[in-house]
Structure 1
Amino acid sequence: MSILDNIKNIGDELLHSVDNNVEDKKATDSADGRVYTVKSGDTLSAIAKQFYNDSAEYMKIFEANKETLSSPDQIVAGQVLRIPE
């Protein structure tokens, strides 16, 4: 196997990994609307950017989840957040 084949295989693996990560970050629907499961490294700003195309909308998510969040800066992987429309 040539070096170029190895580079291509590594690139394909990276693209597959990125595609899986994007699929993991999709919201799911629930009876209460959209929900999102926080992944390691997420911030409310990044989640707001994903759903609203505006990271400044993070307070909208925080307000919808005040009963489980004590601060917008303290979210943990595995938390399930409601994402208001």
Structure 2
Amino acid sequence: MSILDKVKDIGSDLLKTVENSTEAKSTTANKDERTYTVQSGDTLSSIAKHFYSDASLYMKIFEANKSTLSSPDKIALGQVLHIPE
């Protein structure tokens, strides 16, 4: 593999990371259908802090996603969570 091929691969990986990050931070236009895609290192507390400015409101997110979450401590990378108002 040439150096140019390696640079192309790195650029491609970087672009995918940026696209995923942008996509994950966006929410839908409908207030009732606000969602968040879990990223590496996320916790329900950190997501609550992002949306509500209060990490202690993580149970609000857990309750809204009980059908797909077995525990507030078990969220999966790439999982789409509903974020209530």
Q: Compute the displacement of 1:28 (Å).
A: 1.7
Q: What is the number of equivalent residue pairs in this alignment?
A: 66
Task: Give the alignment's TM-score, normalised by structure 2.
Answer: 0.68
Deviation at 1:46, TM superposition (A): 0.1
Identity among equivalent pairs (%): 65
- What is the identity, as a one-letter code, of the residue corresponding to 1:77? L
Q: Which residue of 1 aligns with 2:71?
A: 71
Give ranges in structure 2 of 5+ residues lacking alignment. 1-17
Aligned to 2:4: none
Q: 1:17-28 counterparts in 2 under 5 A?
A: 20=18, 23-28=22-27
Higher normalized helix content (fraction of residues): 2
Report the RMSD for the aligned CA atoms in angstroms: 2.0
Amino acid at match of 2:76: V
- The unaligned stretches of length 5 or more in structure 1 are 1-19
Q: TM-score, normalised by structure 1?
A: 0.68
Distance 1:69 1:81 in 2: 9
**How is 1:1-85 mapped onto 2 (pairs within 5 angstroms)?**
20=18, 23-29=22-28, 32-85=32-85
